[in-house]
Each structure stands twice: as C-alpha cells, then as structure tokens.
Chain A
Amino acid sequence: MSIFDNLWLGFEVALTGINLLYCLIGVTLGTFIGVLPGLGPLVTISMLLPITFNLSPTAGLIMLAGIYYGASYGGSTTAILVNLPGESSSVVTCLDGHAMARQGRAGPALAIAALGSFFAGTVATAILALFAPPLAGWALAFGSPEYFSLMLVGLFTAAALAHGSMLKSLAMVVLGLLLGSVGTDVNTGVYRLTFGVPELVDGLSFVVIAMGMFGIAEIVANLEKRESREVFTSAVGTLMPTLRDLRDSWAPILRGTAIGSFMGILPGAGTTISSFLSYIAEKRIARDPGRFGKGAIEGVAGPESANNAAAQTSFIPTLTLGIPGSGTMALMLGALTIYGIQPGPRVMTSHPDLFWGLVVSMWIGNFILVVLNLPLVGIWVQMLKTPYRMLYPSIVVLCCVGAYTLSNTTTDVILMAVFGVLGYLLVKLECEPAPLLLGFVLGPMMEENLRRSMLLSRGDPSIFVTQPISLALLVSAAVLLALLIVPSIRNKRDEAISEGES
C-alpha cells in the first residue's frame, strides 16, 4: 500500500461522524484540562478510560489522543496568562509569555502559541506517518550512556536560561538536582531525603513545585506591590499578532518543530527538554538576546512549537515499539491492550485503519484546536481584566484542588505551600526558578543513567565516549559550555577595559 492509499484510508476513518465527534470532544476536554493548573491529561485519561470501553477502539484512541495533545495547547494558556506552568513543557512559555501578557500583549502571545503549535503538530504528524518505523529504531539506539550525555547537554542549557548572576543560576540548578534526588533510589530501593514522609517516597512532583514556586510565590509577590493594584495593564493591545510578530516567529517555529519532532521520539526525554532546548537556541540565535525574559515573542513561538511536536512524535515509540515515553503514554498503551491491540511494528499492518485513522485524526485535531483556541484568546484576555483581588483567590483555589487531585493526598497541597514560601524567598533574593525546575526534571534521569552506565560497563567510564551517539552529545555539551563561558568572560573583560578607561 502506498502512502497515499494509507492516508486515504486514514481520512475515510477519521472523517466518520463518530470519530470526528470524539476527536472534538477529546481536544476540547484536553484544552480545558490543560488550562486548569495541576490537573493534567494523566488523571483525565484514566478517569475516562472506562467510558471508552463502550466505544470502538479507534474512536476511543482518537479521543484519548485528542485529550493528550489538546492539553499542551491549554497548558500554554495558563502559562502565558497567570505564569503557571501546567506541565513541565510549559515552564519556558511562562518566561516570555507571561511577560508579554503583563505588557498587554497576551493576545499575540496566545495566538502565536496556537499557530506555532498547529504548524508543529501538522509537521510532526506527517513525520509520524512517513517515518514511524525507522524512527523507532532511533529510539532504541539511545541507551543509558546516550541518555546521560543528553541530560548533560540539557543541564548546560539550564544555566544559560537565566539572565542574572551565573553563580546564582548554577546554584538553582544544583538545588533542582538535589530536589530531584528525593525519593526511592532505583538501584538499591533506599528512601532518600524523605524525612519519614511516605508521600515523598516516590519523589516530589514537578507540578507541586511548579505551582508553588510559580503560582503561589507569584501571587504573594504581586500582592506586595501596594502601588499598582492591577497586575496587567488595562490597555490591552490587539488580540492578533502583528505582521512584525509573524515575521519574527516563523523561523523559531520551524526550528522548534525540528527540535521537538526529534526529541519526542526519545522515551522519557521528550517534551520538557525540547521546549528548553528551543528556548536556548532562540536566545543564542537572536540578535539581541537581552530581550528574552522580557517579552520576546521568539521565546514563545519556538518552545510552544517544540513541545507540541514532541507530544505528537512521542506516539512513535508507544505505537511502534510498545514503549511508553511517559506516564500518560503508558496509559495509552494500557488502553490499547485493553482494546486487544498489541502495539509493535506490526500494528501498522495489523490494524491499518486504527493507525492511519489516528494519524489523520491528529491532524484534524490540531486543526480543530487552532480554530477553537484562536477565538478563545479574546475570552481569556477579557478574563485578565477581572480585578486582581478576585482573580488571585481563584488561582489559589485552583492550585489547591489541582495539587490534591494529583494523588488524592493533602501532603501535596502542603508541599505546594512550602515551595510557595521557598519560591517567594528565592525570587526576592533574585534567584530564578526556571533553572531549578529544569535541574529537577533532568537530575534524576542523569543520575540514574550515569549509575546504570557504570554498572553496564562494570565501572569503566570510557563507555561514554566509546558509544558514538554519546560521544557526539558530549562534544556538543562541551561546545555549549564554551559558548556560555566565553561571552561572559569577554563581557567582564570589556567591562574591565571600559572601567579602566573612564
């Protein structure tokens, strides 16, 4: 069967009334879930799983997939509007997206996020359709040493994220790494840094830390300002991006799509790292990197495209290898098995209607999402006009409920309060939270893969340089490090020279 026959089949399947309906339900629900802080696609999909038993496998899978990638659209909304990352991949969007919102440019930020995500989703779906099996082989080639080297690359980008003191950013990264080590040690089963709290045995939850440090801390910081009662300028600009915005965004969107499509294939690494890498790349490439963190639209366009592309391509290892890249993917896998479908390289040939129907419906879903989200931009911006004294209790309540629903335990809510205080203190001391979060996400994987690689090589550290992919990554990490240090040395030298002259 040629690719056109397959796509035709896909369209036939995806455009039936039932499948369209469930696609619509899925993406709408997903967007809504993504907007709510804390609540994520994982909980939703598991709640809805039994309902899908009564549907055909195709319709059920279409709906669940819709929820999944719809959530990343919704997550960017909250990130931009209220500086709350709903998922790890939206953290970066908070940086410039929220800054834009404060300047009255929430509309363009949201619109570009939606458009970039749509473009990325389309391209990534095409990649999924055309290259799924060979790309799956790529996922297998990434073993423990490769993951470690990849994490190292990611880590160096963390320090590059901030624009304050390098020492303090590094300290935040290390603190993030430390927080990531709380929990059960994989190799020995020992409980680390859990202080006797059973809920910490499985580690801290990213969402809890993010909601505390970004959400609660932000609210407290805002409330402090006695003078300006309103957080967002009342002069809200145009809802749609200007021509200039579009011109500035198209290249980041392309780059973000490329990064995300590639990273999403690697189970576990995926969406978070893609958005961070895209942000760094844009900051590096921009002619005026000082704008980043203050409302540079490239900082929204790139990462949003990256994380949506990664969300789509993360289906590749799940469908073709049966290896889920994340908890949510594991759920999808579970759903597939319950439907009686065995994921694997044969799934394309054994269930072509399911596979191609899903692929085409992803494209349709992305389309529905952009059609849905663009008009919503107006509504969200209106919402920002709510007086802050009524907005912030709502955010607090949503965060509390969201934190609770993660594991049905109030411990998470208490932890969120703790991180709220910590986050507030750190912001006051001018330490940025974003590097901490990245350290938190990357740390455990880095350590795990480091120790595992050492076990595999029976204690021989050369394993990292003898494996070709790992070597390539380590070299990139070194280059990245050099790129980071050299300009700052040069700046200091320039400062010293100019001071000497004056």
Chain B
Amino acid sequence: MKLNNHRDVCAGLLFVAIGTVAVVVAGAYSFGSTMHMGPGYFPVLLGGLLILLGAAIVARALWTGELAPLPSMSLRPLLLVTLSVLVFAFLLERFGLVPAIAATVLVSCFGGHEFRWREVVPLAAFLALASVLIFHVGLGLPFLLWSW
C-alpha cells in the first residue's frame, strides 16, 4: 500500500465523515421496515452508503498508489470571499442593502490580487445603486435600504 494519493484519501474520508453524521443524526428518527419505511430509513441508508463509498475510495487510493498529492489551497481567496458573503448576510437586515453591498464588495476585493481603492469604491457604489434600482425599484422587492 502506497500513500501517494493524498487527494483521494481526503475525498474518501470527507465522505465517510458526512455519512457518519447522517447516520448518527437520522438514526434518531423512526426507521420502519422495508415495507413501511419510516422517516429515518432513507437518510440512514444513504449515510451508510456514503460511508461505504468513502471507504472504497480510500481503499482504492491506497491500493493503486496513483500519484495525486494534496492540492494546494490558498486560503486567502477562500476565506475572504466566504467572509464577504457572510458579511452580506449579517449586515443586510441590520443596516440595509446599501451598506451590505458596499461591505461585501470591499471584503471580496481584498480576496483578489489587486486592490485599488479608486476601483473598488466606484464599483461598490455602482453595484449598490444598480441593485437598488433593479431589485427594489424595478421589481418591487422589499428591502431595508439604509439605516444606522
């Protein structure tokens, strides 16, 4: 068994983990029988299947020893883009659409390669204005626009 295929081992383990969570949580629901399936039947079955498949993936990775190193992940884009979405969720209902969009643009731009204030600020303003016009004015969707 050669551990060259880190990538697939991780994938397999991820599936095993998710499957286990499913089996544990759904195991609490009534299972029923094959003739009369309860709410827990499918999720537990699927969770179990996922565990099996995950294990199979790990096994295959160890068996064939294909070379597949762990992919490189640069954390900055991941963290900042995700953060920008969460920032939007946090600010929208407390401070309004305009501040939320501005903050999201700002944070997500930090996740990119180049950050130029003279580009980011007008972009944020443009997106905020466009969104207000399209969604709130044009489509009539209710939004808190601006409130401190």
Contacts and interface: CB of A to CB of B under 8 A. Distances in A.
A181 B142 CA distance: 31
Contacts of B57: 165, 167-168, 171
A390 B124 CA distance: 10
B77 interface: yes
Interface string A412-436: 0110110011001110111100000
B77 to A, nearest CB: 4
Given A397-B131, A420-B82, A451-B37, A167 B119 contact: no
A14 interface: no
Given A420-B81, A421-B78, A178 B54 contact: no
B49 to A, nearest CB: 5
Contacts of B134: 36
A360 to B, nearest CB: 28
A44 interface: yes
A193 B23 CA distance: 10
Interface string B52-89: 01101100100000001001011001100110111011
A395 to B, nearest CB: 9
B102 to A, nearest CB: 10
Interface in A335-372: none
A52 interface: no
B78 A192 contact: no
A389 B11 contact: no
Given A44-B139, A167-B57, A175-B18, A216 B81 contact: yes
Contacts of A488: none
Nearest to B50: A174
Contact of A43 (B19, B36, B141): B141
A223 interface: yes
Interface residues of B, number: 68
B85 A192 contact: no
A125 B7 CA distance: 49
A147 interface: no
A1 interface: no
A175 B50 contact: yes
A393 B42 CA distance: 39
Contacts, number: 184
Contacts of B14: 425-426, 429
A41 B71 CA distance: 39
Contacts of A43: 139, 141
A357 B94 CA distance: 47
A413 B85 contact: yes
B29 to A, nearest CB: 6
Contact of B46 (A177, A190, A420, A450): A177
Interface string B23-54: 00110011000011111101100110110011
A126 B55 CA distance: 51
Interface in B86-110: 86, 88-90, 92-93, 97, 100-101, 104-105, 108-109
Interface string A142-176: 00000000000000000000000101101100110
Contacts of A193: 22, 25-26, 43
A195 B15 CA distance: 19
A85 B77 CA distance: 22
Interface of B: 7-8, 10-11, 14-15, 18-19, 22, 25-26, 29-30, 35-40, 42-43, 46-47, 49-50, 53-54, 56-57, 60, 68, 71, 73-74, 77-78, 81-82, 84-86, 88-90, 92-93, 97, 100-101, 104-105, 108-109, 111-114, 119, 123-124, 127, 131, 134-135, 139-142
